[in-house]
Structures are given as C-alpha cells and as structure tokens.
Amino acid sequence: MNPALERHCYDSRRREMRLLALAALVLLVTSALWHQVKGTVVYRVACSSIGCPDRLGLIADALRQRDPRFPDAVPRFWSLSWAKPEWIAWSSVRESVPLEDGSTLPNWKVTVADHNLTVRGFIAADRPFLLTPADRDGDSLCEVVMEIAATKDDAQQDHVWWVVLRLGTEHNEILWVGLMDESVWHSRGMRLKPIWRDEDGDGMGEFVFITVETTRTPAGGLVFKPLQTIAVFEWSAPGGILRTLSLASDSGITPWSPGGREPIRVDQTADLAPLVHELLPAPEVP
Amino acid sequence: MEFPTTSTTFRRWAVRRIAWDRGRRGSVFIAYVRTLAVILFLPWRAGRRLVVPDHWPRCVRWAVVHIGLAIFFCALLANGRHTLQWLTERVSPSSFDPPHLEFPGDASAERVLVWFSQSFAAWAIALLYSVGLGSLLSVSIPGRHRAAKLGGVKWGLYLSSLFIVMLAAWYGYYVLNPPQAQATLPASFTWTLPTPGPPAKLLAGAYGVWWAAGMAANPYNRARTLRTFLGFALLYAGSWAIMAWVLFPAGALEALL
C-alpha cells in the first residue's frame, strides 16, 4: 500500500487548470445545447400535461411559442383544461367593460387549442364557461357551447342563451341558439344541463338537454344526478346546422337555427351577446 | 509551511468518524440516528469527521437511499399534488360536479403516471443538481489537497439526508398548522390539497448552507474560520444561481416541481 502522503497529495496547478477549463467547456456546450432544445422540451411536456390543472403556466408558455395570437400578458389567467387528451380550452381575461352604474362586466377572450397545442380558434363572450370544445360532427373543426346570460337591459333576468359555435381560423359560425327560461326549472327544484351525446358512436354527437337533480352531501358538496332527456338537437341540416329532433313542450327552451343552408358567420373578437339577443330576443314582460 | 506538509515529520491526526462511517458501527438504528443528528445539528463536526475519503460504498448507499426517497416524495407532492389527488379520488370519489360542465375529474391512470414521471424526473434533476454542484465545486476549487476534494464529495453525499429532514419539517409545520381547505374554482375545476408543494429553492438553499459549514470545517483547509464558511456559502450560492438561471434556466418547466 502506498504511503498516505502519496495517496493524498496536492494536484499540480496545471492539471487543475486544465480540468477546470475542460469542465467549463463541457458546461458551456451543454448549456448551449439546452438552450437549443428547451423550446422543444417545453412543448412536448406541455402537450402531455394537458388536463393537469397545475401546469397552466407551462401550457400557456408553449401556446405562446406556437401561436403569436395567444396573449403575451393578461392581468389574470383562468383556464379550463380537462383531463382528456384530445383537446384543451383556455381562457384569459381580456378587459373589464364599465357599466352605467359604475360596476364592471368582465369580457372574456377564450382560446381553444387541440392536443398538439395548435390554436383552433378564439371566442369573445361575457363568461368563460364552455362545454367540452371538440369536433362534434366530424368536420375536423371544433364546436363549442357558450352560455350567455341576460344583460341588465333584458326584460327577463332569468333567461339565458345557449349558443353552439363552430370555431374557424378566420371566423366563427353560429350553428344553433337556444333561449332557456331557467325559472321553469328552478320552480321545480331542478335544473337543465346541456351535454353532448353520441349514443350510436358514429362521431356525430347530439346536443341534448337533460334534467339534473341537485342534492347536497353531508360534506357540503353538490351532486348533480341526471334524470331525463328534455330536448335533443341533431346535425340533420345542410351546412352542419343543428335542428330539433325532440323537444318537450314544457322545457322552457326556445330553439333557433339559421334558416338557410349556411350558418351565420361572426367575427372572432366580436361580443356574441348583442348578436344573440338580436337573433332570439327574450319575451316581453306581460 | 503548507498544510499538510510533505515533510517526513508530517504528523497524521486521528479522525473520529461519524457513526455511519465507522468500520464497526454497532446498532444500525442508533448509528443512523447519531449520524443524522450530527449532520443536522453539527454540520461542521460532521464535515470534519468525514474527511477521510474512503468507505465509498456505504457512503453511496446512504446518498442513493436518501436522495431516492426525497425525489419520490417530492414527485408525489409536486406542484398541485395531482398524483395524490388522483389517488384520493380513487379511494374517496369527490361529490363535486359543476353544473353545465363535463366534469374533468378522472384523468386516466396512464396520464397521471406520465405526470408523476415528469415530476419525478424534474425533482431528480433538481436534487441531484444540488448534490452534484457541491461535489463539482469540491473537486474544482484549485489549490486544495486531494483528500480535501474527495472529503468534500463524501460530505456532500452524506448531506443528501438533509432533504428528507427538510421535507419532514416543511410538511410537519402544515400538519401542526393546517390551513383552511380551499378550492381553486373555477381555475382548474378541481379541489386542491391545501398544503403547498415541496420548496425547491429552500431545499437547495439549506443544502448550500450546510454544505458550506461542513466544507469550512475540513481539516485539510488552510483556514477554518467564519470567513471560510462565508466564502464557501457564497461560492455555492453564486454557482447555483449561474447554473440555474443563466446556463440551464428551467423557465416554464419549473411547473413540474
């Protein structure tokens, strides 16, 4: 065995400097490589993170890299991302619209992107709530459902509008509008819930309203139990317009579809509420 | 005269090793507790007692087990605790179902496994980076005795047990002072556990301070003063910052932690 001093000696200064230079070079090359591949890594990880509610910043960063139309900075982020691999919905506050009484109304710009984080379209609305954005009729474009509440100018405050929109790269298309009197169902202690249903599995989903019974659990949670189908709308008209298949007489729903073969085109940045209120006005108060 | 001298009259000094590093360590449990205690509460003493660069297999085993456990728990508790939430949903399904929405609740097991794996990899990089940086600095600082360099590596590996203790303290605090349960509705449409994720920067900072304390106490150093400690601490902090923020910035990938 070598003596201790031979085993434990000082390295020569030249050797130390060479090793340091080599380490620095390796670090610099690795760093340059990392800066080159970082964008790809962020994108790949973000794609596989769709549905994970805690990686919204990562997904937003990847979306920004992919599409410059995605807002750079917003005062506040909201996102709706569900645990399904096929799609993602993204919302961000665009602005606050001042009202006459001094209060403000949030105006939302919603970005919808698919599983590859390719932006499929934008929507402007007064609320960010959406049903699952997805291709419901097999035309490779996303259909979304918007809920538009009554404004203060509307005579009936317990009416809401449901709009089915097809998202495009340049403009959106209104496929169906429904006016729902919520008081009909509230008085019965129930509420209507819109869902997409594809019972025959042909990829052409039906737009369905079902009743749900709301109960509160001992722990304070809410449970919505589906009860019965109230209205069914299907893709039977040309131009991918929804038409009524069945509608219960006491549903409180007034449906409206574009009359011709073409859906109504709307600008992606336009506020839908005034247009929808004009297409299907709420009934006057008797 | 340079220390330790190459003089033939060089006098070796006795090193009382820490319990885990001894040839005969007696009870494994007692040796473990004593080693952990001296690393935690007397890091300068632990650093000094780990100066002999030998017994590498048990040192590596110590590091592998502690770093492995720390990475696993960090990944499990990573940002959003999505893995824990998913497991909780399987055991006790949530009664929350927002109106008008197709509830996202159930991510597939495959996706949760992917997310867990990504967080695991991110935490492995984060923790191994802290340990690796200490070892790299220890062998890179020129003009130090080879035993001091290797002793620094050995100290850095033993110090990896700090992560587990820090995590236990971090979550112990939240167990004793539970915050009010809250939901992040409607940002994510899922309930989140009220505890925060593991503190990555706090873990790295604590490791740096402890590492500097042990390094400064190495008997092969030319000086073992408070200034030596501050020098090592600043060196670690500066290197950490340059590496993490300039050379290898994680950016949005920090969401995985």
Give the ipTM: 0.82
What's the confidence (pLDDT) of residue B59?
A: 95
CB contact under 8 A, A45 and B186: no
Average pLDDT of B177-187?
Answer: 51
> Which is more confidently placed, A53 or B231?
B231
CA pair distance B250, B124, nearest whole angstrom: 14
Residues A108 and A124 sit within 8 Å (Cβ to Cβ): yes
Residue B210 scores a pLDDT above 90: yes
* Residues linked to residue A119 through DSSP beta bridges, in sequence order: A113
Place of tokens 């047990």: B161
Q: What residues of chain A lie within 8 A of the CB of B94, using their CB?
A: 221
Question: What does the block give as tokens for A118?
Answer: 């390719």
CA of residue A3 relative to chain centroid, distance: 72
The pLDDT of residue B100: 41
**Among residues 225-284 of chain A, which lie with CB inside 8 Å of chain B?**
none
Chain A nearest-CA distance from B189, in A, is: 8
The whole-angstrom separation of Cα B225 and Cα B223 is 6
Q: Is A253 exposed, middle or buried (0-12, 13-18, 19+ CB in 10 A)?
A: buried
**Residues pairing with A77 in the sheet:** A92
Q: Can you give the length of chain B in residues?
A: 257
pLDDT digit string, tens, across residues B189-202 = 444 455 678 889 99
Are B97 and A222 a contacting pair, CB within 8 Å?
Answer: yes
**Residuewise pLDDT in 10s, chain A (286 residues):** 444 444 556 678 888 899 899 999 999 999 999 999 999 999 999 988 887 767 878 888 888 888 877 766 654 455 555 545 555 666 665 556 666 777 766 666 777 888 888 888 888 766 655 566 778 888 888 888 888 887 766 666 788 889 999 988 889 999 999 998 888 887 887 778 888 888 777 778 889 998 877 777 665 566 667 778 899 998 877 778 888 888 888 888 899 888 877 888 998 877 788 888 888 887 776 6
Q: What average pLDDT does range B48-61 have in this prediction? A: 91
Asked if residue B186 has pLDDT above 70, the reply is no
Looking at the complex, report in whole angstroms how far the Cα of residue A183 sits from the nearest Cα belonging to chain B. Answer: 16
Is B66's pLDDT higher than 90? yes
pLDDT given for residue A177 in this prediction: 92
SS3 state of residue B56: helix
First-last CA distance in chain A: 107
Q: Phi/psi of residue A235, each to 5°?
A: -85, 60
Q: What are the residue boundaries of the structural domains of chain B, listed by start?
A: 58-255
Q: Please count the residue pairs, one from chain A and one from chain B, whose beta carbons lie less than 8 angstroms apart.
A: 146
> Which 8-state DSSP code applies to residue B255?
G
Distance from CA of B145 to the nearest CA of A (A): 5
The reply to whether residue B96 touches residue A61, judged by beta carbons under 8 angstroms, is no
B101:A48 CB<8 A: no
Q: Which value, to the nearest 10 degrees, does the dihedral of the CA atoms of residues A6, A12, A17, A22 take?
A: -40
HEC-encoded secondary structure of A60-115: HHHHHHHCCCCCCCCCCEEEECCCCCCEEEEEEEEEEEECCCCCEEEEEEEEEEEC
B102 band by pLDDT with thresholds 50, 70 and 90: very low
Taking CB atoms and an 8 Å cutoff, what residues of chain A touch B118?
45, 48-49
Model confidence at B183: pLDDT above 50 = no
Residues with Cβ within 8 Å of A232's Cβ and at least 6 positions away in sequence, in order, are A206, A207, A208, A244, A245, A246, A247
CA gap B209, B155 in Å, rounded:
13
| Residue A5 confidence (pLDDT) | 45
CB contact under 8 A, B101 and A129: yes
CA distance A225 to A227: 6
Tokens 């003009």 belong to residue: B143
Q: What is the pLDDT of residue B188?
A: 38
Q: Taking CB atoms and an 8 Å cutoff, what residues of chain B touch A82? A: 102, 104, 189
A197 interaction partners in chain B (CB closer than 8 Å): none
Q: Do B142 and A17 touch (CB under 8 A)?
A: yes
Hey, of B95, B145, B146, B245, which one would you mutate to test binding to chain A, going by the most A CBs within 10 A of its CB? B95
Q: Which of A22, A40, A45, A92 to mutate to test the interface with B (most CBs of B within 10 A)?
A: A45
Nearest to A48 by CA among B255, B79, B111: B111
Tell me the chain A residues in contact with residue B100 when contact means C-beta distances shorter than 8 Å: 129, 131, 147, 193-194
Per-residue confidence (pLDDT) for residue B78, from 0 to 100: 83
Q: A10–B146: do the CB atoms touch at under 8 Å?
A: yes
Looking at residue A3, its pLDDT comes to 46
pLDDT over 70, % of chain B: 80
Alpha-carbon span A215 to A223, nearest angstrom: 5
pLDDT of residue B215: 94
**Is the pLDDT at B238 greater than 70, yes or no?**
yes
3-state helix, strand, coil split of chain A in percent (to 5) is 25, 40, 35
Using an 8 Å CB-CB cutoff, list chain A residues near B243.
27
Q: Which residue of A has its CA nearest to B109?
A: A83
Determine, for residues A79 and B184 on separate chains, whether the beta-carbon distance falls below 8 Å. Answer: no
| Residue B11: per-residue pLDDT | 53
pLDDT for the residue A82: 53
CB of A182 less than 8 A from some CB of B: no
Q: What is the mean pLDDT of residues B171-188?
A: 61
Q: What's the pLDDT at B94? A: 59
Residue in B closest to A217 by C-alpha: B95
Query: A4 and B12: CB-CB below 8 Å?
Result: yes
B146, B147, B253 ranked by CB distance to A41: nearest: B253
Across the interface, do A55 and B94 touch by the CB < 8 Å criterion?
Answer: no
Of A24-38, B94-108, B150-164, the one with minimum mean pLDDT is B94-108
